[in-house]
A = this chain, B = another copy of it.
């Protein structure tokens, strides 16, 4: 009987040498975090991330599909906006505000989904590189997508974002009561009409 030796890889391997190896995905994500921090979301490219990781760009596409997919995985975000937004935006237009508020509150109610988001915001509060990255990701991949689908002017989109961002911060970081303990549907009833009005354009 042979003693099983756990495979100890990671650590010192130079990137790019074994593109199919077990931690290639992790190496791509580490490279992506570096590239996004340095270039921001808009200027980062799959090709540049692949170069940094020393792998073929096709491999990055294979693992993550798109630049947004790489970003979401690299920042450990709970959902890919390109997957979830079409669902939220496709229902009745007169309830889209309500659906957006409910989605944001339901997603952030789960600590495993919330913490990476709050971590990203915390970093952005004190780090200029991070703030640029977060700004570009939200404006391009989230707000820009909603604005285009619903034909909403950017300032109105940002007013809606500010309301939703503010409520997540006040509920989960500042933890004002009764907001921190309020039922999601109670907050939806209060904020839904606000977001609806902004998105009415």
Contacts and interface: CB of A to CB of B under 8 A. Distances in A.
Interface stretch (A46-54, A85-93, A154-162): A154-162
A198 interface: yes
Interface stretch (A22-30, A107-115, A185-193): A185-193
Contacts of A135: 174-176
Given A166-B164, A175-B131, A197 B191 contact: no
A17 interface: no
B179 A162 contact: yes
A125 B163 CA distance: 18
Contacts of A176: 135, 138-139, 143, 158, 161
Contact of A178 (B154, B171, B173): B154
For chain A, the bracket of interface size reads 35 or more
Interface in A120-168: 121-122, 124-126, 131, 134-135, 138-139, 143, 154-156, 158-159, 161-167
Interface of A: 121-122, 124-126, 131, 134-135, 138-139, 143, 154-156, 158-159, 161-167, 169-171, 173-179, 182, 186-187, 190-191, 193-194, 197-198
